Structure 1
Amino acid sequence: MAGVGLLLLLVAALLSWWLWSSRQVAEQRALADAVSAARLLEQRTLASMREVDLLLDDVAREAVRLPIDPPVEWSEPLGFETILMLRDKPERLPHVVVLSVLDAHGRIAYSTSAARGADFADLPIVARVLAQPKAQLYVSGAYQLRVSGREGVAFARPVFGPSGRLQAIVLAGVHIEAWLSHLHDLHLGASGLAYVADREQHLVAAKPLPNRQRIGRPLPDRQLQPSGLGEASQFFHDASGGRYLLVQRQLSDYPFSLGVALAEDDYLATWRQSAWVAALGLLFLIVFGSLLLLLLWRGGRQARALSQSEARLSLQEQRMRRMVEASPCALGLLDFSTDHIRYLNPDMADLVGRPVSELAGQPMASLFAQPEDWAACRAALREAGTVREREYALHTSGGTLRWVDLSATLLAGNGGGDDVLVSMMDVTQRVAREHRLSHEAGTDALTGLANRRRFLEQGGEMFELAHRHQRPLALLMIDLDHFKQVNDLYGHGIGDEVLVRMARLLDATLRTGDLAVRLGGEEFVALLPETDLTHALEAAERLREAVENAPLMLADSRLLAFTVSIGVAALRDEHAELHNLLAQADAALYRAKHAGRNRVTS
């Protein structure tokens, strides 16, 4: 009877451990999803802010050359090309609804939307710049933009003259849709939420957003408690008592914070169903065991007690096997000394598309696309006794890859041998979605070239590598000559074909290791590693000739010839960052334009 009682306790302990472990897995998976969503939101927000920052920086450099006080008329020749540039730049960023240059008193000198001479000195962000002008980016909270009448955020950058005194202020208004667009495809479950807030913890954007009047108001006051799950995550309860797992991040360089919260009712729903099944199973085992103990106590015969115990053990083993086979996770049991699979449930066999009978007895490393991945996992198991939520690629019978989150626990066995309990969760769709989003975020949709975001990331890495190892690096700044006339005369459809033709010529002319980028509009960049100024000029001239000799054939068989102007710059010691090299190439391009276009200048 004592043996049966101990077995009941063991089963209860195993079920309790399984419930606790599966809850930990569910919570850790929810934390990983929240962290992944927060990182994705952070990357998107940072990319948008940097694009706005770079736009302001571009306009600020142009504004130095403009007469600000008194402002000139739009029709005057002085500064005409620069003013056209000011009008065209926001087209690259559709959420920038107004771009203005203010004089040193806060009055409009040039603007894409606001009236010239309008006084913006009472605008809080402009007042901050006028009160304490510094060479930095100023950012407002969310408010109703004066020009469009819709909610947005203002960005400002002061411009200083040669004497160091404030000469002008570049001001941009960005719609709230710039942030809402980053939130719409985040996977937060049925009741999850995400938000972006300013430095004062006032709401900028949220998902869901039932009422736009909440924009600009303080975030709800929540009582936060540490979750104990890692990643500085916290728990809080909403007004209805529902508990949420919250991951918050503070954006570097910009006064914004963000948060992603997943509802406990969402990420623990499957576990709670399993817990009810386990509880009923445990209750059944307790009742059955109690009846068995009563029969043994009443019978008083050791032979009957032994027979009943063996029958009960067999029944429990069958039930445990059925529980493992019915588990929503792919489970397997390994011999740690040989790494061979001792037992696996059908879900684990389905992951790799092979029958259970074929996998039993096979080495675990044979399932992995990279066998060294299992070697690293085994080393971690030997050191810590457990691994949690590690992402690996498995071979399938069809030759494709299946991505899984793998957790494993080292179990002490009888006779000195150890077993490993392995559980896997299929995350192939999530990995594919993350890879697709990452690729799309760095590619220009029209030309297929790298976009500004990938240029800042990959180009920054190429710049740092060349700068650190003192290797040559060159940059070509390329602009299509008279592209606005092409759009005006032939339409934007032909203009798009010209841009695509330009991208193909770039691909055909540049080397495999070079980075071709469409910055926006008709501006392109080529970053050439291991290339000094002399060879960069030769490469630029080859590209210029290739463009000049490759007109576009129109539908009526006419040939549309177009040319490019190219500014060339090579890495020097005084170039501390990529934007310094870009600014030098931009200045060379400016000289090429003013020298007559269709030429290369360094």
Structure 2
Amino acid sequence: MLRSFGVGAIVSSTSLGAGICREVAMVQGVQDLELLQKLHVGVVVHAADARVIFLNDRACDLLGISKRDMLGALDLMPGWSLQDEKGHWLSPEDYPVNRVISTRLPLAEQVLGVVRPGIEGVAWAMVSAFPVFDPRGALEKIVISFYDVSQLKRTEAVLKERAEQLRFVLEGADLGLWDWSILTGEVMRNERWATMLGYTYEEIEHTTMQWSDFVHPDDRERAWASINAVLAGRAPTHKLEYRMQHKDGSYRWILDQANVTQRDEQGRPTRMCGIHADVTERKLLEEEVARQARTDYLTGVFNRRHFMALGGAEIERARRYVSELSILMLDVDAFKRINDRYGHHVGDAVLRKLADGCHSALRSLDVFGRLGGEEFAILLPETGLAAAAEVAERLRLLLAEAQVPIEGGQVVRFTVSIGVASMSSPEDSIDTLLNTADRALYAAKHAGRNRVHTLSS
């Protein structure tokens, strides 16, 4: 087991102050703690200044350090050192959390080794680090996920010399084994390879075709390309994550790693061996972290930062294909009055009702985001000004009929004002469209609210 491994940040003895408690509470309010605690991977969350503000129980087990020691930590344990797979020592700025802080980019699947004083050998972990941004685009947290791959590193070394013995080692490591005779096309697999996908060993076939059939259609070409690159000598190893279909019809994420273990006298590959690891839980966590980074926590629509990024892409697409593009800006009429009269919880319910209503009426290609407060925006690709005004009017009428239940069996109704603008020049930017739509929205408000107003950019 991996013990006392800091994983990029940042461990020292400290007391848990009131400020850290508040930050931990903030993390717990955002993350699905029940999911995090059930994961078989360690999860450590850092603040933007690299301080540890949360870790799950599995992380404590793998690190061999208590939460009290980890929370607020700012350095590795004395005498510890990190190295990459090639044995190069890492400087502190190259630790995963510090790289994410400096680059603002995610770091996926980095294998790191730790050398500790008084303990022989290197402990290895597969580490991923992902930034989480607030609605303004500022770095808010860094999420580190990791799991122990020391056994995997050891089995890779054994694989080169004793492929038959590896089969027994992997049985105890919860890894699926495949051993491909390239000349005959036969693929031998162990029982875990089958049970990972919901099958018994007797139910599986020993062919490459069955593996290929199990791989998700969208991943199949990429998986074969990685394997063929190794066979052709263009890549040293096959290492790839892709989806495979479970017997129940769902898809599991598989980490597949393999190498050519035998070649003939001419150097042509004759045998390839590999291992499968189920990494579905880690992928789900990564996807959830990524989702939270791009969506508004209250309504579930895109946050301002992600909306602006998608808006820029839609502008470029409209320029490239000389297509129409329109934008709507929606604002809840007299929203402050709703909050003052019924409370902010009812105001929040109104915003969620607005988001749900718009989602039900929009196309899948439309881009819907919350810009802030009670203000929302909708990008309508391939839509001119007149058609966009019709969409706006349908939304206005739809939302005017919406009802938000409150205590006592009563309901709250609300209306929206909508400004409409369209791209009229290749020089238009997303900011240009938003400014024009905002002026149209102001005109709709000034004209009495609960109406649609259009302007050209």
What's 2:138 paired with?
Answer: none
Q: Give the counterpart letter for 2:445 in structure 1.
A: K
What is the Cα deviation at residue 213 of structure 1? 10
Q: Does 1:573 align with 2:418?
A: no
Q: Distance in 2 between matches of 1:318 and 1:412?
A: 13
Residues 545-570 of structure 1 show CA distances to partners (whole Å, capped at 9, x for unaligned) of 33334455655565644322211111
* Cα distance change, pair 338–529 in 1 and its aligned pair in 2 (3 A): farther
Work out which of the residue numbers 280, 286, 292 in structure 2 matches 1:434: 286
Match among 363, 366, 381 for residue 213 of structure 2: 366
Residues 335 and 366 of structure 1: CA distance in aligned 2, closer, same or farther (over 3 Å): farther
The answer as to whether partners of 2:258 and 2:274 remain within 8 angstroms in 1 is yes
**2:309 pairs with 442, 450, 457, which one?**
457
Amino acid at match of 1:398: D
Cα separation, partners in 2 of 1:194 and 1:451, compared to 1, 3 Å: closer
Give the Cα–Cα distance (whole angstroms) in 1 for the partners of residues 353 and 344 of structure 2. Answer: 14
Q: Distance in 2 between matches of 1:214 and 1:325?
A: 38
> Residue 572 of structure 1 aligns to a residue in which SS?
coil
Partner of 2:99: 248
Q: CA deviation at 1:333?
A: 0.7
After superposing the two structures, state which structure 1 stretch, 567-576 or 389-398, moved more: 567-576
Structure 1: segments with no counterpart, 5+ residues: 1-25, 38-149, 152-175, 197-203, 280-315
User: RMSD across aligned C-alpha pairs, in angstroms?
Assistant: 4.9
Deviates more, 1:470-479 or 1:186-195: 186-195
Bigger radius of gyration among the two: 1
- Contact residue 191 and residue 262 of structure 1 kept, 8 A: no
Q: Match for 1:235: what amino acid?
A: L
Residue aligned with 2:346, SS? helix
**Paired residues for 1:42-441 under 5 Å:** 196=48, 204-207=49-52, 227=84, 235-236=90-91, 248-249=99-100, 264=114, 267=124, 271=150, 322-323=168-169, 325-341=171-187, 343-359=188-204, 361-363=206-208, 364-370=211-217, 371-384=220-233, 386-413=236-263, 418-441=270-293
- In the superposition, the TM-score normalised over structure 1's length comes to 0.51
Letter in 2 for 1:452: R
| Deviation for aligned residue 1:237 | 8.1
Q: For the Cα contact (< 8 Å) 1:344–1:360, is it kept in 2?
A: no
Q: Which has the higher helix share?
A: 1
Of the three residues 347, 354, 375, the one matched with 1:495 is 347
Opposite residue 363 of structure 2, the aligned amino acid is R
Q: Deviations over 1:394-422 (max 9, x none)?
A: 22223222211111112335687701111
1:377 Cα deviation from its structure 2 partner? 3.0
Q: C-alpha distance in 2, partners of 1:212/1:330?
A: 36
Identity of aligned residues (%): 30
- Inter-partner Cα distance in structure 2 for 1:398 and 1:189: 24
Quote the residue 1:517 is aligned against: 369
Aligned residue identity for 1:428: T
Number of matched residues? Answer: 379
SS of structure 2 residue aligned to 1:488: helix
Deviations 1:301-338 (A, max 9, x none): xxxxxxxxxxxxxxx99866534544553222112245
The change in CA–CA distance for 1:339 and 1:351 in structure 2 (over 3 A counts) is farther
Q: Specify whether residues 191 and 594 from structure 1 end up closer, same or farther in structure 2 by C-alpha distance, changes over 3 A only.
A: closer
Tell me the secondary structure at the aligned position of residue 535 of structure 1: helix
Name the CA distance, whole Å, in 2 between partners of 1:432 and 1:477: 33
What is the TM-score of this pair, normalised by structure 2? 0.66
Question: What is the distance in 1 between the residues matched to 2:102 and 2:232?
Answer: 36
For residue 434 of structure 1, report the CA deviation from its aligned partner.
1.5
In structure 2, what is the equivalent of residue 154 of structure 1? none
Instruction: Report if aligned partners of 1:394, 1:403 keep a CA contact under 8 Å in 2.
Output: yes
Q: Matches of 2:215 and 2:260 in 1, distance apart?
A: 19
Once the two structures are TM-superposed, the CA of residue 430 in structure 1 deviates from its matched residue by 0.9
Distance 1:273 1:360 in 2: 25
